[in-house]
Structure 1
Amino acid sequence: MVNVTKSNFLEQLEDFLQHLPSASYIALDEEMTGISLPGSRNQRPNKIELPGERYTRLLKAVPERYSILQVGLALFHKNPRYKNPCRPRSGSTSSNRSGGGHHADADDEHGYIHREGVLNQDELEDLVEREEEAADEAEGLLGDDEPASAEPEYTSRVYNFYLFPASSTREMTLSPSTIQFLLGNNMDFNKVFAEGVSYTTVDQAEAMMEKHFEKYGRKEDEKAKEASHTPSKRGGVKLSRVEDIAFCARVIAGLREWIDSDIQPGAYPNPAGAVTAGLVHENRDADEGTAVVLPPCNAFLRRALYESIQGEYPSLILERADQGQNAGPRSNQIRVMRLSPEEKERRDTRLRREAWEKILGDVGFTILFQAISDACNGKVFSKEQTKSFLNGTSPDISVDGKGSNKIPLIIHNGLMDLMFLITHCHDPTLPESFEETKATIRSYFPRIVDTKILAGEYSDSIIKGGKSDLGSLFNVITSEREMSWITFKAPTISNGESSQQAHEAAYDAYMTGCVFNGLCDRILYQENGLSGSLTLDKLLHDSTDDAVRRLVGLNKLYMHVSLYTIDLESKDGPVSGVHDPLSSGLSVDTTFHVSGIDTNVSTRDILGALLIGGNGYDFAQGLRYEIIWVDDTSFFVGTRSEADITLNDASTISLLASHVRNNLHAKLGNVEILSLRNYFVQVRCMKNDSEDKNSPQHGLVGSIVSAATLPFAIVGHVLGFGKRTHDTTASEGPAHKRRRTS
């Protein structure tokens, strides 16, 4: 794990770009200066509001206001020394498995194979060895008693980027509570402010690079013209004052003596005439000729000297003395350099490299942002292309190409991380529409997996109580006892050492990648049985996006305290006009609205009624319920399965609906129970009946957006969502204390 600041940015940029193309997946995490708006802590998230409404009300302004302090990036590579593990077989144990360590392994540093370009001999041998092992396994040549690999399946390279826009006009706003939290977790703010890497938008970065190449393209054209044409003598500055004429004559005379003297590079004598004229010989690198600095003078005389020297000695190089080698506070002086053609070429190369490196430093982290986006979009990288970009001979990190893998980006509860990236590297202002923001995110990163969703909706709960925070998941994934169902070893870190510091962006990114690896192993084991035919690498790079989406929730993001899962692909959610699906496996057919209950009924009463089997519905023992109170007389009950029961066929849904109705009627009496789908139908009917009675500015339906575009806005008014406040001070009413699941 490497901390990246502006002092080692170029070195680590090269390292990152060299290892990016061969990565199986990329994990990302961030630390910011704030994560909530002032006063928003008193506005508790409304679980039933639409994601677009939450975005406008609470989310959009946060990444526009605050800044990123750290970005953690972890590249995960398939380990070429990894042996195909023996999946648990009958009678086998996990005694041969290694623990979940994640320490540095210096031998892993170059243990990867480029998906593009020519393989060297070592890489070729690794590839052949892996293919032979795969063939042996396919033919059943690996014995049942062969031990699992002592190597992890993946290795990782982890980078911790400190960000600070020193040259930007963007202000940095700090949230006191967030800063206190980060200080408590050892955030080095001195490193952020003094050594942070810069960033800019992609458009600004492209403009800076384009200007650079235009400038040096013009210089090449000018050099070609100079080689084929005799410089024309143009009228220039006319000196009239005696003292000015004498000054320039004295300087030119001293310059002639310096030119005529036989001074070798690396030797520093000053000819007597040059000393008299006030010329000072400079110590320079031996491979860049000799130079003198002319005496100080005003701008008018400097221009006169420029014209005189360039006209009489066009082969000399002139520049301001506060530039280049030995630069100092000498803006009123001229440096004159005498170089051979070879020395001039070396100087031009150095100046161009330094100018390009300055641009790379100014663009900073945005280069990483664009490179990751290119890799995620399947663009082609090569060693030659990377070298050309870093040397400043090409403005492109990658090139368009077909057949290249689209590397997935892995996050944990990372919707806000993605929006921060957009405000920092795309546009400081997010789109007004949440759908536009989702489209922007997907244009940069078309394949995203959120391990928060992966843990909660696509894999069985592996932690008692269903915890899905990153630290808890990581501890379980790397636990020998908890993961006894499969051989798993956490990826090693092959660059630097692990800090094991939670809430450091790099280590959190590493944990995110490990959790993804471990959860996917569990899912694939359940999918494959004992065959192990579908590996994680095959899933990510050889399977269709539909398969990845089905197994690990591709492009579905977690939204905190919400009925919804953010879907970057879906244009239609559970009903027309809602763009995101319900979360946690809930659906409009298995979520019910219950109204007309007695105010003394509690969540415990409701769950007690629902958890009773009998009535021919014994399958109900494998269900989990979520109670979401609307007010003191109505609530939602969401249902999802934790057993081998699917809730998407008509017969099971009918049984479930009967179970919910019968049990709740038995406990609560004559209450109204509607599936969410039927409730939407009822709301639309109410809208149609009232359209002729309400103008667009008046009435229940006329005062809100149409049901076709924001149906839950209408549902909210009809169900009384607006009747209760959601701030932390709202303590009246028994419903305030009755929200929980079972």
Structure 2
Amino acid sequence: MDITWSNFKKQLPVVCQAIAEADFLAIDGEFSGISDGPSFTTLTNSLDTPEERYEKLKAHSMEFLLFQFGLCTFKYDDVKAKYIIKSFNFYIFPRPFNRNSPDKKFVCQSSSIDFLANQGFDFNKVFRDGIPYLNQEEERLLRDQQEEKRYHTNGASTTCYMYISPDASRAPVVPVIPDDQKDFIDKIVESVDEFLKDEEKKVLQLEPCTGYQRKLIYQTMNWKFPRGTHVETVESPNNERRMIITKVDEDERKNKEIQKKVKEQEDLNNAVGFSRVIQAISSSSKLVVGHNMMLDIMHTIHQFYCQLPNDLEEFKSLTNCVFPRVLDTKLMASTQPFKAIISHTVLAELEKRLQMPPFNPPKVESAEGFPSYDTAVGQLHEAGYDAYITGLCFITMADYLGSFLSPPQTHVSVQSDVISPFFNKLFLMRITDIPYLNLDGPDLLPTRDNVLHVTFPKEWKASDLYQLFSAFGKIQVSWIDDTSAFVTLTQTDQVQIAVNISRFAESYCVQKYAEYVAKKDRQSLSKRKRTDDGWMDFERKRTKTQYNLDQTFSTKKSINSVEEEPRPVSPEESEVLKEDTASPTASDAAESSKRPKTETDQAECSKHLL
């Protein structure tokens, strides 16, 4: 079901009900771009740490717009023995709802726009009829502005009311009128005086004036005529804004004040727009399933909740607040037992493979009133369809795991322990020895004893590095920037030899990976001490923003991700970061199953988000 601004308010209750009834939710997003500077390979270096990957994506991907959000809800029907699905395709655009709301800026990447255009993406639905949104900070600021506007109206809204209440908590403020506006205001006051003395006249329409002059009129009316009048700014069909003053008694004044508050709340709810869908997903605490979903999670939080924190651990805490349980099907497909029988984990290829033995595709049925998707035809890169097949992939793999239970289960619930090892792990693309970001605790820390960090002149090319290390056999080069790279040797015992040989080189420098990391940590610590007078306070603040994550470490689970051979990158995959280029190397790690939000968790989340 396509949802734009024209039908959003009508369909929002349907969306919220579908979320509330679902067993789990699948999501997907389409963006206006991927990277605002670094190349694809630089943005996803195979030897990134989780912190470095997060920092790169935050720095170079968050200025793009998530303009299509796919949501597919899955509810298992025990009688029919099949899932009932409801799929939604939201078109999103941050249009200002009035002159005070944020006028947001975003960037586009030509390759991404071209890619989506070739897939048949309807950009008119985004830019002409997209659903607006506000994050929580923007919503709070607008609420504060509305409160302030009751006493200091600025006339910026399309329809803007000012009511003078004898019970107002603030005394009228004597306006400061600039010299060049005094004659104008004096004439207005004279006109209002005559109007109030004329018992037959009920309405006074003022001549058009500037927004600044309207502000002065509101303030003057508040001061000179605190009772018995109602002032509003209306906009004519030709966009001409005029002020109208109406005589009112106390009952009329109260009724208009109530109407004003209702309209303000309605306008603000409209401005919050699509963020209300994300709030409904968050409040439900339902399992949220995605495919290679780190960018989806980051964009969703950044765009509809709050700015992303600089610190990775704070990001984990924030994500746990917004989405208590997530599952990444790309990570799931990259681990045993699936890795042994699945060659490629690109979403389209994965969906096709899971339709063949030994897997059993799930039985699904679209709910009444919802269109059905045909996987034989496919609508890839429509977010709603991608969310749908992501959900299908999850069900198929979960049910396959159920076949190993005793007795075997043909249907695996989302509450089953057999899938809990995959909860709250986000797939890390192209990192060879850290397959996932662990939202529930510490990340894996490989030693990387066979890795060297090399700095060299900007003129050097990959061939120069291969020649430099030719004596050490097969190597792998992972570029960091124009003057540095990681070089991975096949044999760890040759690392010290390589360092010793290059010790007296003048044009380049070679150091062990551990030395590089230690030096980088010292520089980072020193910089923070030099630039932040409140550094210790910052550390204490960080400690307070962990939201009791230690309490979530209960049932220990483990997953084992094994090495996948690299394969050629297709043009489609190089255009979109969410596509595959390489799979992770095997690692064992302790995992924890995630429990729904408690009241304490909700309170902590509220403090952080609001």
Alignment TM-score, normalising by the size of structure 2: 0.62
Query: Is contact 2:208-2:243 (8 Å) kept?
Result: yes
Spell out the pairing of 1:148-167 with structure 2 (5 A cutoff): 149=80, 152-166=82-96
Map 1:21-170; keep pairs closer than 5 Å.
21-38=20-37, 40-41=39-40, 43=42, 45-56=44-55, 58-79=56-77, 82-83=78-79, 149=80, 152-166=82-96, 168-170=102-104
Determine the C-alpha separation between the residues in 2 that align with 1:207 and 1:357. Answer: 16
- The aligned residue for residue 705 of structure 1 is 517
Q: Which residue of 2 aligns with 1:492?
A: 366
Q: Structure 2 CA distance, aligned partners of 1:424 and 1:303? A: 35
- SS of alignment partner, residue 46 of structure 2: coil
State the partner residue of 2:277.
368
Q: Where does 1:225-236 land on structure 2 (aligned, <5 Å)? A: 225=167
Q: Tell me the residue number matched to 2:431.
A: 562
Question: Matched residues in 1 for 2:255 and 2:318: separation?
Answer: 44
Note if 1:207 corresponds to 2:118: no
Distance in structure 1 (CA, Å) of the matches to 2:95 and 2:225: 40
1:175: Cα distance to partner?
Answer: 0.8
The question of whether the paired residues in 2 share the 8 Å contact of 1:450 and 1:556 is answered with yes
Letter matched to residue 558 of structure 1 = F
Q: Secondary structure at the match of 2:207?
A: coil
Q: Note closer, same or farther for the CA distance 1:632–1:52 as it changes in structure 2 (3 Å cut).
A: farther
1:416 alignment counterpart = 295
Of 231, 234, 238, which residue of structure 2 is paired with 1:322? 234
Q: Which has the higher strand share?
A: 2
2:86 aligned counterpart, secondary structure: strand
What code does the residue aligned with 2:265 have? W
In the alignment, which residue of structure 1 is the partner of 2:473?
633
Question: Following TM superposition, by how much is the alpha carbon of 1:211 offset from its aligned partner in structure 2, in angstroms?
Answer: 5.2
Aligned-pair CA distance for 1:178: 0.6
Find the counterpart in structure 1 of residue 550 from structure 2: none
Distance 1:308 1:672, change over 3 A: closer
2:298 and 2:308 in contact (8 A); partners too: no
Q: Is the 8 A contact 1:78 1:154 kept in 2?
A: yes
Give the secondary-structure state (helix, strand or coil) at the position aligned to 2:35: coil
1:428-507 matches, within 5 Å, as 428=307, 431=310, 433-460=311-338, 466-477=343-354, 479=355, 482=356, 486=360, 488-494=362-368, 496-498=370-372, 501-507=379-385
Larger CA Rg, structure 1 vs 2: 1
Distance 1:220 1:453, change over 3 A: same
The change in CA–CA distance for 1:422 and 1:569 in structure 2 (over 3 A counts) is closer
Identical aligned residues as a percent: 21
SS of 1:52's partner is helix
Q: Residue 26 of structure 2 contacts residue 387 of structure 2 at CA under 8 Å; is this kept in 1?
A: yes
**Cα deviation, residue 568, structure 1:** 2.2
- Give the secondary-structure state (helix, strand or coil) at the position aligned to 1:60: helix
User: Counterpart of 1:549?
Assistant: 420
Pairwise CA distance, 1:355: 0.9
Name the CA shift for 1:50/1:156 in 2 (closer, same or farther; >3 Å).
same
What's the counterpart of residue 195 of structure 2? 251
1:76 alignment partner, SS class: strand
Aligned pair count reads 469
The separation in 2 between residues aligned to 1:513 and 1:181, in whole angstroms, is: 24
Distance 1:522 1:592, change over 3 A: farther
CA distance in 2, matches of 1:224, 1:246: 23
1:509 counterpart letter in structure 2: A
Shift of residue 548, structure 1, vs aligned partner:
3.9
Residues 706 and 189 from structure 1, CA distance in 2 versus in 1: closer, same or farther, beyond 3 angstroms?
same
- Give distance in 2, aligned partners of 1:215 and 1:303: 10
Residues 427-458 of structure 1 show CA distances to partners (whole Å, capped at 9, x for unaligned) of: 44651x44443343333223110011112215
* 2: CA distance, partners of 1:16 / 1:247: 52
Amino acid of the structure 1 residue aligned with 2:138: Q
Q: Cα RMSD over matched residues?
A: 5.3
Q: State how far apart, in whole Å, the 1-side matches of 2:17 and 2:515 are.
A: 57
Offset of residue 297 of structure 1: 8.2
For 2:262, the equivalent position in structure 1 comes to: 353
Identify which of 521, 526, 536 aligns with 2:413: 536
1:504-537 CA deviation, whole Å, 9 max, x = no partner?
11221122122212221222232253456x7414
**Secondary structure, aligned partner of 1:29:** strand
Write out per-residue CA displacement over residues 260-314 of structure 1, whole angstroms, 9 at most, x where no aligned residue.
xxxxxxxxxxxxxxxxxxxxxxxxxxxxxxxx34353886996799589957xx4
1:606 paired residue number: none
Candidates 102, 125, 144, aligned match of 1:191: 125
| Distance change in 2, residues 1:319/1:44 (3 Å) | closer
What's the offset of the Cα at 1:44? Answer: 8.2
Q: CA deviation at 1:183?
A: 0.6
What is the DSSP-based 3-state SS (H/G/I as helix, E as strand, rest coil) of the residue aligned with 2:69?
strand
Q: Any stretches of 5+ residues in structure 1 without a counterpart?
A: 84-148, 260-291, 377-406, 583-587, 596-628, 637-670, 690-697, 711-726, 729-738
- Partner Cα separation in structure 1 for residue 316 and residue 91 of structure 2: 25
